Chain A
Amino acid sequence: MPASSNFREVIRDAQSSALVGPNVVNKALPYVGGGMVLTAAGTLGGLSMIASPAFMPLFWVALIGNLVLFFVAQNIALKGNNATALPLLAIYSLITGFTLSGLVAMAIGVAGIGSVGTAAIATGITFVIASIMGRRMSDSVGQALGGVVTLGIIGLVIAMVVQLIGGIFAPQMFLGGGFELMIAGFGTVLFIGAAFLDFYTMPRVYQDEQYLAGALGMYLTYINLFIFILRFIIAIQSRD
């Protein structure tokens, strides 16, 4: 047997021993799916009352409450306190759906109902491919992708802050057209990368009992991907 075979065996052993939660992905996936179903229900609920004058006040309460709930649920889930975290995550998913209804209504208005279906199918296809390829990712590729996604999301946040501030002074330049298209396209590519990365990092950073914290992270990635695909479609349609 050549020496390189022993070397490969040692590397393989080292990689498998580096997993702190080998079953965390399989444990988390049903909760990610459940979160998506609740989100869809919340979106339908929001769309059904979007014409009501009560919608906007309720939207702001839901949006700010949801941000607070995210940090609370994340903290509890990381401690492995799943009995408390589960109902919080269910409420978080439902409220996220409600807050998504504004963007979904805008997409339907600008690009038709097909745009929402396209974004949902594209997100689903990404999930299927990522679940196959992300698990097989080597350490070198996974860590390199992790670095790229980390830098990318910091860049995205900076670009979004520039857009937010620039939009106050020059709305035509920052809020529509090329700048919005660039941010939406960059965000889409970034969250596709993050979707692949989730399947690599989850077993390496979350223990098996932290499956709800893993599910929250993965859920957030796919919701962001869906949002950025919708933004991309809206930006393209608005330019035409």
Chain B
Amino acid sequence: MRAATRKTKGAGEVIRTPEGSDPLESLAGLVKFETLMRHAGQQ
């Protein structure tokens, strides 16, 4: 999962910025971590 990050420069010219770690993906990773951590040992 990654939000489309982009900057527009002039009419019709779109510059995409795929480099760098994605905060949304990192949050999804933390959500997974939190769920698994909290359910550890409850089984």
User: Which A positions have Cβ atoms within 8 angstroms of B?
Assistant: 14, 18, 20, 50, 56, 59-60, 63, 66-67, 70-71, 74-75, 78, 96, 99-100, 102-103, 105-106, 109, 142-143, 146, 149-150, 153-154, 156-157, 160, 164, 187, 194, 197-198, 200-202, 204-207, 210, 214, 216-218, 220-221, 223-224, 227-228, 231
Q: How far is the CA of A63 from the CA of B19 in the complex (A)?
A: 27
Query: Could you say which residues of chain B place their CB within 8 Å of the CB of A149?
Result: 1, 3, 24
Q: Is the CB of A205 within 8 A of B31?
A: no
* Cα-based distance from A70 to B1 in the complex (angstroms): 14
A234 smallest CB distance to B (angstroms):
9
* Contact across chains for B21 and A146 when beta carbons are under 8 A apart: no
* B2, B21, B38 — most chain A CB neighbours (10 Å): B2
Cβ–Cβ contact B1 & A187, under 8 A: no
Residues of B within 8 A of A206 (CB): 2, 18
Indicate which residue in B1, B16, B37, B43 contacts A63 across the interface (CB closer than 8 Å). B37
In the bound complex, CA of A214 to CA of B25 (Å): 10
CB contacts (< 8 Å) of A70 on chain B: these are 29
In angstroms, Cα B20 to Cα A101, docked, is: 32
- Knowing A164-B38, A198-B1, A201-B2 touch, does A78 contact B29 (C-beta < 8 A)? no
Tell me the total A-B contact number using a CB cutoff of 8 A. 122
Whether B1 pairs with A75 at a CB distance below 8 angstroms is no
Report yes or no: A106 in contact with B42, Cβ–Cβ below 8 A: yes
**3 pairs of A and B residues whose beta carbons are closest in the complex:** A105-B43, A106-B43, A194-B1
| B40-A102 in contact (CB<8A) | yes
**What distance in Å separates the Cβ of A153 from its nearest Cβ neighbour in chain B?**
5
* Chain B 8-43 interface mask (CB, 8 Å, partner A; 1/0): 000010101111111011111111111111111111
CB-CB < 8 A to A75: which residues of B?
A: 21
Contact of B21 among A78, A106, A142 (CB under 8 A): A78
A90 to B19, alpha carbons, bound, how many Å? 22
